[in-house]
Structures are given as structure tokens and as C-alpha cells.
Amino acid sequence: MIKQNLLDLCRWAREQRTHFYWCLGLGALAALTLGQYLTDSGTMLSREGTDTFSQLVYTYALGFDELLRGHLVKWNPYVYGGQPFLGQFQTGLLYPGNWLFMGLPIALALNWIIFAHAWLMGAGVYGWAVWRGTRSLSAFLAGAAVMLGGPFFLHIYSGHIPHLECMALAPFVLWGVDGWLRRRHAGWIMLSASAAALQIYAGHPQYFYYTAIVSGLFALVFLADAQRKKSAVIGLLAIYPLALVLSARNCCRGWRRPASRCDQAALIMSLPRCSRCRGRIF
């Protein structure tokens, strides 16, 4: 049985080899676009004065420096009389994509996170397009257009790291919804719910909300052609409650204590400047 499963896996891998090469091409395109910044630990891919430079790098430095020492920062004492740190959505401490901050200089880690999510965005669009029957070249162009398009790529210049992370996960949410409507398999619900939960962990609940709206509209449009509509509706209604359950550790704390703009301004002025945060800004 195990041998047969391994043979089936090898056969499937050979069949998907072409798509693997196309996805590598998207990664190479992203790497060529970002160029030297993937090896430069002194330059961050954001304009000076944007969210990355004025807020996020110091937030990440505080949270992940302490995490390396074995401390999970729950309270930030540097803003007025203190405020919750883990309970702030944008700290991103529990998002796996941010764990690079524990192993690389902060500027280099940030650049690699941007690169990885640009590639993830392109690969997600490519995979979804191919699954819907689009030819490989057309799917590649679709992935490249979304990955390098202004609505996504200009967030790099603006220093919106949580936005980039959440946007890169949106194709997988929609892919899961589409997959469930076409083929009733619980794996599609898990794909969509897991991607939506990761959007919460990434730290920008607004994009979680926007993706939910788009997913709902997408489902309404294609539900008319779906077979077994009752089971289709039940599965669709389960996706976002399941996502909230998977992200309960983060979303319960974040929604219990929303940050005000006054807190954000104080955060920019008060977080400690550490040596890992120095460097030029692109």
C-alpha cells in the first residue's frame, strides 16, 4: 500500500513538473525585479517615512528579538503607560512568514518576506488559473500581471508589509471556494479557511474582511451552476467560522482591544531604536 502511494505520488510529481517550472519562472521574475535587495542587509524595500521605516521594523525588532530569547511579548511598555503588544494585529508574531526575522538581519528578512509573498501571489494566481483550465503560458501571464501590478506591488514602496502578506493569501481563499463549488471535497474548505486564518495572523484584518466580501460575491455568482446546492451552501458557510476558529488565538485578542490612531502615533515615537533597524532606505 505504501509502495503504491509512493508510486502515485511520483507519477503525480512528473505530471506537475511543467507547472513547477512555470512557478519557478515567476519566482525568477520576482527576484529579477527586486534584484540586489535580496542580498543587501542594509537596505529596506520601502520609502523613508512609510509604515515600514517609521513603525513596523521597530515592532518586529522588539517582538522577534524577545522571541529569540524565549520571551513572547504580551505588553509594550514604551507607549504611554503601556499597551498590549501580542494583542495588536500588526505585530504579526504568530504569522509563520514573519519568523524569518529571527534568523536574518531585519532589513534582509523584510526584503525576503516581500519577495516570498510576491512569488506566493503569482504562484497562487497561476495555480488557480491552471486548475480552471487556463493554458500554462496564459496562467503565467496572469500570475505575473497580478504579482507586479500596481494594486499589489506599490504596497512595497508604501511599506505596507501586512497588506502584502494578506493579499498574497487571497488567491488561495478564492481557489478553495471555487474548488468546493466544483468538487465536494473537505480539502477545499480547509485550503480556503487556512488561508483566511493566515490573513488574520499576518496582521491586517481589513484585507481579511475584503477577501470575505469578494469570496461571498464569487460564490453567489457561481453557486447557480453548482450541483447539490444545499451541500455547497453548507460548505461555503463553514469556511469563515472555521477560519476564525483557526485564528482564535490572534483575533480574539486583537478585536478585544482595537488600537486608536493616538496609540499608533505614540508607537512610532516611543518604540526603542535597536541596532538591527539601521540602514539605508530604497
**The model's pTM:** 0.83
> Helix crossing, 2-15 with 17-34: angle to 10°?
60
What pLDDT shows up at residue 25? Answer: 94
Interval 78-104 mean pLDDT: 84
Q: Give the pLDDT mean for 197-221.
A: 92
* pLDDT band, very low/low/confident/very high, at 130 (cuts 50, 70, 90): very high
Identify the DSSP state of 73: -
More confident residue, 81 or 171: 171
Please tell me which residue, 114 or 3, carries the higher pLDDT value. 114
pLDDT at 190: 94
Residues 192, 237 contacting (CB under 8 angstroms): no
Please check the confidence at residue 253 and state whether its pLDDT lies above 70. Answer: no
- Percent of the chain having pLDDT more than 90? 38
| Cα gap 282→280, rounded to integer Å | 7
Q: What percent of the chain has pLDDT over 70?
A: 84
Amino acid identity of 24?
L
Higher pLDDT, 206 or 46: 206
- 48: alpha, beta or left, given left = phi > 0 and alpha = psi -120 to 50? beta
Which helix (H) or strand (E) segment is 131 a member of?
helix 106-131
Q: Which residue has the higher pLDDT, 268 or 51?
A: 51
E strand spans, the chain: 43-44, 75-76, 83-84, 280-281
Q: Could you tell me the CA-to-CA distances from 201 to 84, 139, 169 in Å, in that order?
A: 16, 28, 11
Grade residue 262 by pLDDT with cuts at 50, 70 and 90. Answer: very low
Q: Please say if the pLDDT value at position 254 is more than 70.
A: no
Of residues 66 and 3, which shows the higher confidence score?
A: 66
Mean pLDDT of 81-91: 81
What average pLDDT does this structure show over 157-165? Answer: 88
Q: What is the mean pLDDT of residues 27-48?
A: 86
How does the average pLDDT of the chain come out, rounded?
83
